Amino acid sequence: MISWGRTHLRTVSRVVASGLKTPWSSALTCLVIGVTLSFPAGLYTLLRNVQSLAGTVHPAPQINLYLRLDDGPADIGAVNRKLARLHGQVEAVRFVSKAAALKAMEAAGGAAAAASSLPANPLPDAFIVTARSPDPQALRALKGIFQSWPEVDQVQLDFGWAKRLAAFLRLAREIVALTTVLLGATLVAVVGNTIRLQILTQRDEIEVAWLMGATRAFIRRPFLYYGVAAGLLGGVVSWLIVRLSIALLEPRVATLAALYGSGFRLMPPSPTEVAMLLLFSAGLGCLGAYLAVMHYLRR
Lowest mean pLDDT among 4-13, 47-56, 134-143: 4-13
pLDDT at 178 over 70: yes
Assign 276 a pLDDT band (cuts: 50, 70, 90): very high
pLDDT at 264 over 60: yes
Whole-number Cα distances in Å, 277 to 29, 44, 202, 236, 249: 17, 11, 31, 9, 21
Assign 193 a pLDDT band (cuts: 50, 70, 90): confident
SS (H, E, C) the chain: CHHHHHHHHHHHHHHHHHHHHCHHHHHHHHHHHHHHHHHHHHHHHHHHHHHHHHHHHCCCCEEEEEECCCCCHHHHHHHHHHHHCCCCCEEEEEEECHHHHHHHHHHCCCCHHHHHCCCCCCCCCEEEEEECCCCHHHHHHHHHHHHCCCCEEEEEECCHHHHHHHHHHHHHHHHHHHHHHHHHHHHHHHHHHHHHHHHHHCHHHHHHHHHCCCCHHHHHHHHHHHHHHHHHHHHHHHHHHHHHHHHHHHHHHHHHHHHCCCCCCCCCCCHHHHHHHHHHHHHHHHHHHHHHHHHHHHC
Q: What phi, psi does 100 have (nearest 5°)?
A: -65, -35
CA distance 125 to 66: 6
Share of the chain above pLDDT 70, in %: 79
Looking at residue 164, its pLDDT comes to 74
- Kindly give, in sequence order, each residue whose CB lies less than 8 Å from that of residue 235, ignoring residues fewer than 6 positions away: 33, 34, 37, 277, 278, 280, 281, 282
Looking at residue 240, its pLDDT comes to 94
94 pairs with which residues across the strands? 128
Q: Exposed (0-12), middle (13-18) or buried (19+): which is 131, by Cβ within 10 Å?
A: buried
Share of the chain above pLDDT 90, in %: 6
Looking at residue 261, its pLDDT comes to 67
- Kindly give, in sequence order, each residue whose CB lies less than 8 Å from that of residue 125, ignoring residues fewer than 6 positions away: 66, 67, 71, 76, 95, 96, 97, 98
pLDDT digits (tens, 9 = 90+) for 30-39: 888 888 889 8
pLDDT digits (tens, 9 = 90+) for 52-105: 776 555 556 788 888 888 888 888 888 888 888 887 888 888 888 878 877 776
Assign 280 a pLDDT band (cuts: 50, 70, 90): very high
Map out the domains of the chain with their CATH numbers: 2-57+164-298 (no CATH), 62-158 (3.30.70.3040)
Give the global pTM. Answer: 0.62
Assign 238 a pLDDT band (cuts: 50, 70, 90): very high
Cα dihedral 210/215/218/221 (nearest 10): 110
Lowest mean pLDDT among 50-64, 141-155, 157-171, 247-261: 50-64
pLDDT digits (tens, 9 = 90+) for 94-131: 888 878 877 776 665 555 555 555 666 778 888 888 88
Lowest mean pLDDT among 105-109, 228-232, 276-280: 105-109
Give the strands of the sheet with 126-131, arranged side by side: 90-96, 126-131, 62-67, 152-157
CA distance 184 to 192: 12
pLDDT at 183 over 80: yes
Higher confidence at residue 69 or residue 21?
Answer: 69
